[in-house]
Structure formats: structure tokens, C-alpha cells
């Protein structure tokens, strides 16, 4: 449990508590655990000036408790979102097509346009990709099948293209996408 000593934070927490109590009264809910009906009524009846005075006092002790499990989940989500954002930026800076970005990252074409302007501007990597020589295309296709081996039923992931790009970094993502999908029936 974290004790809040800052007067402004105490005021904020107490004001939120009063809002919650007023909402629970409208919903005809019982008082929160640890509160008596009399305490709830007295809190609801406080004026703004009285609430400020209460927040300036050392009693009542105002503390917060953070659920460790949901905090861990939230931290993992933030980490995942940061990773995906860096990954998207990497793909844009290395010439991924709009089609590729919308399929791999499930973002709208409008978002693709905005992100492109932010990360790549009018880079030459955004132009239509040129296909590498036939022998290089065969090597790229072979490597792609090695990467996807055993995952044929799974959706294609951005990580698959990152692995391919690591081996063929001289080519843009757009070129690699074009080679991989050269014989697709789209």
C-alpha cells in the first residue's frame, strides 16, 4: 500500500471517492467495505472548502493499493505496444508497401499514410520496388519457405519478414513482399 502525503493528490483522491460514493448512492449500492453509512453521509455532505481542509490533514490516512497481477498485465501490454510501434517504424523506414503494412499490422490506409509522412517523408524507398534478378528471387523464395516451414497454417507475421529482411537487408520490404507473393493468385 502506498501512502499519499501530497495535499493535491490527497484532494484528488478524496474528491474521486466522493464522486464514487454519489454514483453508488444513485445505483442504490451498499457503502464500500470499511465505510459506515454515517461516514458515507458525512463525506457526501462536505463542501469544497471542507474537502480541502480534510486533504490538508494527516488524518485520515489516504493510501492506494495497486493490484500486482493487473499491473504486470498492463506493463506487458505497454511493452508489446512499444515493440509493435518500433516494428512498424522499421518497416516503413525500410520501404514496406501500404498493402503489406495494412495486412501485417492491421492498420487503416489513412494511418499508413500518416505514419509514412512521419517516419519516411518522401524517401526513395517508398517508390515501386524493382525485382531482383531471377537467381536472387529464387534464393529469397527458398529462404522464405525455410522461415515459414511448420507454420503454414499460421498467419504470416511481421517477424517472418523481419527474419527475411535480416538475410536480404539490401532489399526493401516492398521488394521482399513482391518476391514472396510473385506467384500468388490475388
Binned average pLDDT, 10 residues per bin, the chain of 186 residues: 90 90 82 84 89 90 89 95 93 87 90 81 62 93 94 92 94 92 76
Question: Cell for 40?
Answer: 458515507
First to last CA, the chain: 57
Please, which residues have CB within 8 angstroms of residue 162's CB and are 6 or more apart in sequence? 87, 90
Q: What's the grid cell of residue 159? A: 517477424
- Write down the pLDDT at residue 143: 95
**Residue recorded with cell 501490454:** 77
Q: Pick the closest to residue 156 from 86, 99, 94 (CA basis).
A: 99
- pLDDT for 34 equals 83
pTM of the model: 0.64
The sign of the torsion formed by the CA atoms of 103, 108, 110, 116 equals negative
User: What's phi and psi for 149, nearest 5 deg?
Assistant: -60, 130
Q: What is the pLDDT of residue 81?
A: 94
**What size, in residues, is the chain?**
186
Residue 65 and residue 125: Cα distance in Å, rounded?
A: 50
| pLDDT at residue number 166 | 95
For 175, the grid coordinates are 521488394
Amino acid at each position: 500500500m502506498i501512502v499519499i502525503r501530497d495535499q493535491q493528490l490527497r484532494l484528488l483522491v478524496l474528491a474521486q471517492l466522493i464522486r464514487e460514493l454519489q454514483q453508488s448512492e444513485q445505483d442504490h449500492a451498499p457503502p464500500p467495505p470499511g465505510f459506515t453509512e454515517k461516514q458515507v453521509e458525512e463525506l457526501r455532505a462536505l463542501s469544497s472548502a471542507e474537502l480541502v481542509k480534510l486533504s490538508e490533514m494527516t488524518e485520515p490516512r489516504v493510501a492506494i493499493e495497486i493490484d500486482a497481477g493487473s499491473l504486470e498485465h498492463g506493463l506487458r501490454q505497454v511493452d508489446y505496444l512499444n515493440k509493435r510501434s518500433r516494428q512498424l517504424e522499421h518497416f516503413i523506414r525500410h520501404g514496406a508497401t501500404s498493402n503489406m503494412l495494412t495486412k501485417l499490422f492491421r492498420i487503416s490506409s489513412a494511418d499508413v499514410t500518416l505514419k509514412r509522412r512521419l517516419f519516411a517523408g518522401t524517401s526513395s524507398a517508398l517508390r515501386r520496388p524493382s525485382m531482383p534478378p531471377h537467381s536472387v528471387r529464387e534464393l529469397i523464395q527458398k529462404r522464405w519457405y525455410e522461415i515459414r516451414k511448420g507454420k503454414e497454417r499460421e498467419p504470416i507475421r511481421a517477424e517472418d519478414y523481419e527474419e527475411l529482411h535480416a538475410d536480404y537487408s539490401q532489399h526493401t520490404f516492398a521488394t521482399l513482399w513482391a518476391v514472396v507473393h510473385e506467384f500468388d493468385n490475388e
